[in-house]
Amino acid sequence: MDLLKPSAANSSPITPVGFLERAATVYGDCTSIIYNETTFTWKQTNRRCLRLASALKSIIGIQRGDVVSVLSPNLPAMYELHFAVPMSGAILNTISTRLDARTISVLLCHSESKLVFVDFPSRFTVLEAFSLFPTEIVPPMLILINDDEDDIESSLFTLEFNLEFTYERLLTRGDPDFHWERPHREWDPMVLNYTSGTTSYPKGVVHSHRGLYIATVDSLVDWSVPKQPVFLWTLAMFHSNGWCFPWGMAAVGATNICVRKFDAVSVYNLLRQHKVTHMCAAPVVLNMLANEPGIKPLPNRVHILTAGAPPPAPVLLRTESLGFLVSHGYGLTETASIVVSCAWKPEWNKLPATQRARLKARQGVKTLGMTEIDVLDPESGVSVKRDGLSLGEIVLRGGSILLGYLKDPIGTSKCLKADGWFCTGDVGVMHPDGYLEIKDRSKDVIISGGENISSVEVESILYSHPAIHEAAVVARPDEYWGETPCAFVSLKPEKIQKPSQKDIIEFCRLKMPHYMVPKTVVFEESLPKTPTGKIQKFMLREKAKAMGTAARLASRI
């Protein structure tokens, strides 16, 4: 057979943004978003996104390829911006509301953001971030998102800082019949997500329209999401774009229940009120739901997808006894969504509960959108034995892998190898049945409540303390957060005034986001080292593990 060349009809770039257009046609009069007393249909959401995209181009002057940043919790505006920004041809950059002004400043400068949408309660944090810009860099334009844009405080702030638009006022200036900007190529960048921004060298992960399309469809298929589910937004949309579910929920015509702030009692009320069928959550949220006192089992089954550190067996058992059906997987910011999931086998239902929980805690097998996964010996580069014991680095190949790190060719070349593997830096084993299980994170990462914390970054702050001689940060088990940073420090002998654990924690609180602050500080005469002088972190990890779980701290959510 002669090889045929692709035509214009079959080579049009794929993008998940088009799911909204289809939702407006298929599910137009069905509810798209519920937030407190606010309700929209899919027709309305589509028109609002087109208006906003139009206004971004014609009123603000956003050009194709510009970066537009958003600092917001799970509000309707945050959902809409996942469509409106790429519809304008711009690149969406969602920023965690938990970051401090210094970190936000670094991210905005690095991304060269042209515009920042900010939730009203975070306005002063962003203004402080602007004040930290180098003098030669002009801060981006600021547009407020507010639950009530007509209240006095919002109006006064808008006047004081001479803000030309708020979110809703800008939206009304746009054209609802706007022909949105489709990508020229499906490899064109669509989002920019930061894995870390607390040093001067943040890692900006760039994903394409094609990669996000694959990740979105893959997530729906792997989780068996039906048409028109009711989805509760307990997973922050600023976390890897809510694992691609903003676009995925449009694809299936879901009802999106938006939540400003997580609270276990409120979440249970929403689950019952709206008959929620699906939600995503970090393991810490599972723990909070499982341990909320006085909760009765839910009247309908709620599918809950979790990822990150494996949920402890008791948490899984308790959660499922309350009416949740838990699915577990593995992914990174660099993979856009979950790319390894614990595909459940029917015969496992006959096993004892504790054994089922252990199986469910494994990360699992590649999703349909991935080409290959493997665990490679770090020295030989060959696959480890499938014995559940032999350790190696987890590597991936597939359509949703990042394009690269923004302005970081060295970092890109380190993780995207010439042989086609994406090297995760995570350590795992492969079981005889072909299921993957993570045994340890890369040495610099602690996962606490779904947040990735670089131990190196925390250590760099600790070393700036005038009394600290050596510092090493490792993960300590925590029943509430999964893991929390535990700092081992030795002090300079010449310092007469010795700091206390509280002193060092308060010092860190002034220098970094609170979720990164060590919850435990252990003073050592000296830290264990190799013959070449490197600190032996594996010994400290064992010591932190032997200390047991840290005391419950509930102030971070």
Mind giving me the DSSP string for 332-373?
-GGGSSEEEE-PPPGGGGGS-HHHHHHHHTS-BEE-TTEEEE
Is 507's pLDDT higher than 60? yes
| Token representation of residue 418 | 């010439």
Kind of pairing, strands 370-376 and 392-398? antiparallel
| Token representation of residue 184 | 């020229």
Tell me the average pLDDT across 475-495.
87
| Token representation of residue 260 | 């400003």
- Continuous segment of H or E residues that includes residue 281: strand 278-281
- Continuous segment of H or E residues that includes residue 491: strand 482-491
For residue 4, what pLDDT is reported? 74
For residue 409, what pLDDT is reported? 95
Rounded to a whole number, what is the largest CA-CA distance in the chain? 84
* Banded model confidence at residue 293, pLDDT cuts 50, 70, 90: confident
If you search the block for the tokens 């005469």, which residue do you land on? 525
Q: Which residues contact 121 (CB under 8 A, 6 or more apart)?
A: none
Residue 60 near residue 170, CB atoms below 8 Å = yes
Three-state DSSP class for 546?
helix
For residue 110, what pLDDT is reported? 95
Tens digits of per-residue pLDDT, 50-101? 999 999 999 999 999 999 999 999 999 999 999 999 999 999 999 999 888 9
Residue 140 near residue 116, CB atoms below 8 Å = yes
Backbone angles phi, psi at 512, to 5 degrees: -150, 165
The domains of the chain, with CATH numbers, are: 17-216 (3.40.50.12780), 262-441 (3.40.50.12780), 445-547 (3.30.300.30)
> What's the whole-number average pLDDT of the chain?
89
Beta strand extents in 112-197 (DSSP E only): 115-119, 141-145, 189-196
Kind of pairing, strands 302-307 and 278-281? parallel
What DSSP string runs through 176-188?
TT------SSTTS
Instruction: Compute the C-alpha angle 130/135/139, nearest 5°.
Output: 35
Three-state DSSP class for 313?
helix
Tens digits of per-residue pLDDT, 341-371? 999 999 999 998 878 888 887 889 999 999 9
Tell me the average pLDDT across 254-261.
96
Tens digits of per-residue pLDDT, 371-384? 999 999 988 899 99
Q: In terms of pLDDT, which residue wins out, 291 or 183?
A: 183
Tell me the average pLDDT across 224-234.
97
* Banded model confidence at residue 109, pLDDT cuts 50, 70, 90: very high
Q: What CA–CA distance (Å, rounded) separates 247 from 95?
A: 18
Residues in the chain: 557
Is 155's pLDDT higher than 90? no
Strand partners, 370: 398
For residue 134, what pLDDT is reported? 95
* Banded model confidence at residue 552, pLDDT cuts 50, 70, 90: very low
Kind of pairing, strands 520-523 and 392-398? unpaired
Minimal CA–CA distance to 69: which of 4, 136, 142, 14? Answer: 142
Residue 82 near residue 247, CB atoms below 8 Å = yes
* Banded model confidence at residue 196, pLDDT cuts 50, 70, 90: low
Report the interhelical angle of 264-273 vs 283-291 (nearest 10°): 80
Torsion angle of the four alpha carbons 454, 456, 458, 459, in this order, in degrees rounded to the nearest 10: 160
Is 532's pLDDT higher than 50? no
Q: What CA–CA distance (Å, rounded) separates 321 from 547?
A: 30
Tell me the average pLDDT across 114-128.
95
- The rounded percent of the chain whose pLDDT value lies above 70 is 92
Three-state DSSP class for 479?
coil
Instruction: Compute the C-alpha angle 304/267/220, nearest 5°.
Output: 30
Residue 458 near residue 485, CB atoms below 8 Å = yes
